[in-house]
Amino acid sequence: MADELYSPTPEFSQRAVVSSRAAYDRLYRAALDHPEEFWGDLARQELHWFQPFNKVLDWQPPFAKWFLGGRTNAAYNCLDRHLSGARKNKAAIIWEGENFEQRVLTYQDLFRRVSKLANVLKRLGYKTGDRAIIYMPMVPEAAVAMLACARLGIIHSVVFGGFSSEALKTRIDDLNANLVLTADAGQRRGREIPLKRNMDAALAECPGVRHSIVYRHKGAEIAMREGRDHWWHDLMFGAPEDCPAEALDSEHPLYVLYTSGTTGKPKGVVHTTAGYLLQTHMTMQWVFDLREEDTYWCTADIGWVTGHSYIVYGPLSMGATTLMYEGAPDWPEPDRFWRLIEKYRVNVFYTSPTAIRSFIRLGDQWPNKHDLGSLRLLGSVGEPINPAAWKWYHQVIGKDRCPIVDTWWQTETGAIMISPMPGAVATKPGSATLPLPGIVPDVVDLRGEPVPAGQQGYLVIRRPWPAMFRTLYGDDERYRQTYWTKIPDVYFTGDAARRDADGYYWVLGRVDDVINVSGHRLSTMEVESAMVRHAAVAEAAAVGRPHDLKGQALVVFATCKGGVPKSPELVEELRQWIGHEIGGFARPDEIRLVEALPKTRSGKIMRRLLRELVTADKISGDTTTLEDYSVLLKLSAEGKEEEEILEQKAKNTRS
By CB under 6 A, name the binding residues for ligand PRX.
259, 305-306, 381-384, 406-411, 432, 493-495, 507, 509-510, 516, 521
- For residue 430, the minimal CB distance to ligand PRX (Å) is 9
Helices (H), 153-243: 165-175, 195-203, 232-236
- For residue 355, the minimal CB distance to ligand PRX (Å) is 13
Bridge partners, 516 (sequence order): 521
> What does the alpha-carbon distance between residue 108 and residue 532 come to, in Å, rounded to a whole number?
51
Closest to ligand PRX by CB, 142 vs 574, is 142
Angle at 261 between CA 299 and CA 380, to 5 degrees: 25
- For residue 45, the minimal CB distance to ligand PRX (Å) is 26
Contacts of 208 (CB under 8 A, 6+ apart): 172, 176, 177, 178
**Is residue 139 within 8 Å of 183, Cβ to Cβ?**
yes
Cα separation values, 182 from 71, 131, 169, 212, 303, Å: 30, 14, 14, 7, 12
- For residue 461, the minimal CB distance to ligand PRX (Å) is 12
Listing DSSP states for 91-138 in one string gives EEEEEE-TTS-EEEEEHHHHHHHHHHHHHHHHHTT--TT-EEEEE--S
- For residue 483, the minimal CB distance to ligand PRX (Å) is 12
- For residue 474, the minimal CB distance to ligand PRX (Å) is 19
> What does the alpha-carbon distance between residue 615 and residue 135 come to, in Å, rounded to a whole number?
36
Listing DSSP states for 18-45 in one string gives S-SHHHHHHHHHHHHH-HHHHHHHHHHH
> What does the alpha-carbon distance between residue 404 and residue 423 come to, in Å, rounded to a whole number?
10
Please give the single-letter amino acid code of residue 400: D
Q: Is 323 exposed, middle or buried (0-12, 13-18, 19+ CB in 10 A)?
A: buried
Q: How many CB atoms lie within 10 A of CB 184?
A: 22
**Is residue 629 within 8 Å of 645, Cβ to Cβ?**
yes
Closest to ligand PRX by CB, 377 vs 432, is 432
- For residue 309, the minimal CB distance to ligand PRX (Å) is 8
Closest to ligand PRX by CB, 306 vs 648, is 306
Closest to ligand PRX by CB, 132 vs 305, is 305
- For residue 525, the minimal CB distance to ligand PRX (Å) is 16
Cα separation values, 352 from 4, 379, 392, 408, Å: 22, 8, 13, 11
Please give the single-letter amino acid code of residue 108: Q
Angle at 165 between CA 163 and CA 167, to 5 degrees: 55
> What does the alpha-carbon distance between residue 92 and residue 289 come to, in Å, rounded to a whole number?
18
> What does the alpha-carbon distance between residue 257 and residue 195 come to, in Å, rounded to a whole number?
18
- For residue 500, the minimal CB distance to ligand PRX (Å) is 15
Q: Which residue is nearest to ligand PRX (CB)?
A: 411
Closest to ligand PRX by CB, 289 vs 383, is 383
Closest to ligand PRX by CB, 280 vs 407, is 407
Closest to ligand PRX by CB, 113 vs 470, is 470
Closest to ligand PRX by CB, 394 vs 599, is 394
What per-residue string of b and e applies to 54-86 under the rule 16 or more CB within 10 Å gives b? eebbeeeebebbbbeebbbbbbbbbbbebeeee
Closest to ligand PRX by CB, 273 vs 407, is 407
Please give the single-letter amino acid code of residue 429: P
- For residue 464, the minimal CB distance to ligand PRX (Å) is 18
Task: Give the dihedral of Cα atoms 596, 599, 605, 608; nearest 10 deg.
Answer: -110
Closest to ligand PRX by CB, 105 vs 355, is 355
> What does the alpha-carbon distance between residue 355 and residue 338 come to, in Å, rounded to a whole number?
12
Closest to ligand PRX by CB, 411 vs 523, is 411
Closest to ligand PRX by CB, 383 vs 513, is 383
Closest by Cα among 258, 223, 228 to 133: 258
- For residue 59, the minimal CB distance to ligand PRX (Å) is 23
Sign of CA dihedral 428, 429, 432, 437: positive
Q: For the chain, how many residues are written?
A: 655
> What does the alpha-carbon distance between residue 507 and residue 170 come to, in Å, rounded to a whole number?
31
Closest to ligand PRX by CB, 290 vs 385, is 385
What per-residue string of b and e applies to 574-591 under the rule 16 or more CB within 10 Å gives b? bbebbbbbbbeebbbbeb
- For residue 385, the minimal CB distance to ligand PRX (Å) is 7
- For residue 411, the minimal CB distance to ligand PRX (Å) is 3
> What does the alpha-carbon distance between residue 15 and residue 346 come to, in Å, rounded to a whole number?
18
> What does the alpha-carbon distance between residue 58 and residue 75 come to, in Å, rounded to a whole number?
25
Closest to ligand PRX by CB, 53 vs 392, is 392
- For residue 436, the minimal CB distance to ligand PRX (Å) is 13
Closest to ligand PRX by CB, 418 vs 626, is 418
Closest to ligand PRX by CB, 495 vs 581, is 495
- For residue 409, the minimal CB distance to ligand PRX (Å) is 5
- For residue 432, the minimal CB distance to ligand PRX (Å) is 5
Closest to ligand PRX by CB, 67 vs 297, is 297
Q: What are phi and psi of 100, to 5 degrees?
A: 70, 15
- For residue 408, the minimal CB distance to ligand PRX (Å) is 4
